[in-house]
Structure 1
Amino acid sequence: MIRALNYHDPKPFQRPGEGFDIAIWFAKSRIIPVALQARCKCLAMHLSRIFCSPARLGIVMSCKSVILNGHYIDLRPLSISDAERTFHWRQSERARHLNAGAASVEQQAKWIAARPAGEYNWIIHLKDGTPIGMLSLVDIDTYNSRAETGRFLIGEEEKAKGLPVAVEAMGLLYEFAFNTLGLSRLFGMISANNGRMVKWQKYLGMVEEGRLRSHYRTEVGAHDAVVLGILREEYQATFIPRARALMAMGGSA
């Protein structure tokens, strides 16, 4: 069954929900007539609810939200009440490599309210409830089995100091995308000026796939975007063991 992120488990992330996977395979099988595939996909989602209970998943699901529970942090849905906090995070020095954000708290609130239903936008918070950052999974394409990760920002660096919150946040997102949603590929774009983040993502298994010239516009000019991607097998072979090692060290990676 799918479980909460657990780097103390010798084989984390290796056994996704059996009922869900069987039904998804059945739905995608070429022996199923095209006219019946949509019904099979509905069956897959129904079976996932039967075989994957929230208590065992470490994931609480509702019609509007998904909460992911980790060891050091949890990811909870972004809400309009987070507008002021996330606006100030976006004004920080750490956010200078992100796309230009809202110009006011009011605009930030409107932006949050306008997020499409198909996006997953999370606030990263410590176990005591302290919000420390944000992270998103967007542009989900189930037909091509891919999605984009983005809006990753640790806005309260001092409060997160000494804890592996960044790697655990990515681990929770990856586990959800690959094991729960059943995607095969994730990708993202990082400003070429943000060499530290590019290097960190490569170490954790992402592969540089290209570069988009003058893709970002900021106050200091145009910047290239580095396109990175990770496949399910790369997640299993590279991310999991390296993330487990970083979690065991308990550092701020």
Structure 2
Amino acid sequence: MALGELVKLRAMGPADAEALWRWNHDPEVMRWMDDSYAQPVERVRTWLAERPRNAYGDVLLGIEALADGKLIGLVMLHGTEPEKGIAKLDIYLGEKDYWGRGYATDAVRTVCRYGFDDMRLHKVTLTVVTENHAARKVYERVGFVEEGRLRQVFRRDGQWYDMYTMGLLSDELRRGALTPDGQ
């Protein structure tokens, strides 16, 4: 478990299946995410139950709002190899009432702090669709910098989009408090 200013990150389990299923079937939530074929909620529950426990190479954490204890999203550090000390970050907030209020920024900062301090990572990387301006702002607030551009690798609504690759080194993490507007 990791604590931020607004969120608590904790392991996910079968009890979280309904929320995960609902988020994955919401077109607005999944707008800029790689989504897969629709699955019944029972399959999501089975996946969470049979998923290997969190380990260095693959950490899946639920994002809970500290204010009310509600599960509002998930974050992953994955593809990690001890020899390299680099992990890939994936995150999304499924509860739209929490969008734009600093929860994503706090979750990204908290998981990166966990990765650098507890997992002894050197770097965290991610990709983000160029049109996902809100997500890019979150990453930049935490300290991520653009490292490259992948051309036309994401398709949505019949259109191809580019993706930015971004990276954050352990000494670049912005540890500052959230601003008064929650960002």
TM normalised by structure 2 equals: 0.84
Change (3 A) 1:165 1:203: closer
1:135 to 62, 68, 75: 75
Identical-residue share of aligned pairs (%): 25
Question: What's the counterpart of residue 201 of structure 1?
Answer: 139
Aligned-partner SS, 2:19:
helix
1:216 to 154, 166, 173: 154
Amino acid in structure 2 at the alignment position of 1:106: E
Structure 2 unaligned spans of 5+: none
Change (3 A) 1:162 1:219: closer
Amino acid in structure 2 at the alignment position of 1:173: V
The offset of 1:213, in angstroms, is: 2.4
1:227 to 165, 168, 176: 165
The offset of 1:248, in angstroms, is: 4.5
Aligned-partner SS, 2:154:
strand
The offset of 1:224, in angstroms, is: 2.2
Change (3 A) 1:198 1:143: same
Q: Does 1 or 2 have the higher relative contact order (CA < 8 Å, sep 6+)?
A: 2
| Structure with the bigger percentage of helix | 1
Question: What's the counterpart of residue 175 of structure 1?
Answer: 113
Separation of aligned partners in 2, 1:212 and 1:77: 32
- 1:96 maps onto 2:28 in alignment: no
Contact 1:207/1:229 (8 A) holds in 2: yes
Contact 1:166/1:252 (8 A) holds in 2: no
Aligned-partner SS, 2:45:
helix
Aligned-partner SS, 2:35:
coil
Separation of aligned partners in 2, 1:76 and 1:215: 32
Contact 2:63/2:75 (8 A) holds in 1: yes
| Structure with the bigger percentage of strand | 2
Question: What's the counterpart of residue 84 of structure 2?
Answer: 144
Separation of aligned partners in 2, 1:234 and 1:209: 14
Q: In angstroms, what is the RMSD of aligned CA positions?
A: 2.2
The offset of 1:191, in angstroms, is: 1.4
Q: Which has the larger radius of gyration?
A: 1
Change (3 A) 1:248 1:226: closer
Structure 1 unaligned spans of 5+: 1-66
* CA displacement 1:88-127 (0-9 Å, x = unmatched): 1122203210011350223433443454443111111123
Separation of aligned partners in 1, 2:147 and 2:156: 23
* CA displacement 1:193-220 (0-9 Å, x = unmatched): 2122123312331111112223234443
- 1:109 maps onto 2:49 in alignment: no
Question: What's the counterpart of residue 62 of structure 1?
Answer: none
Separation of aligned partners in 2, 1:71 and 1:168: 7
TM normalised by structure 1 equals: 0.63
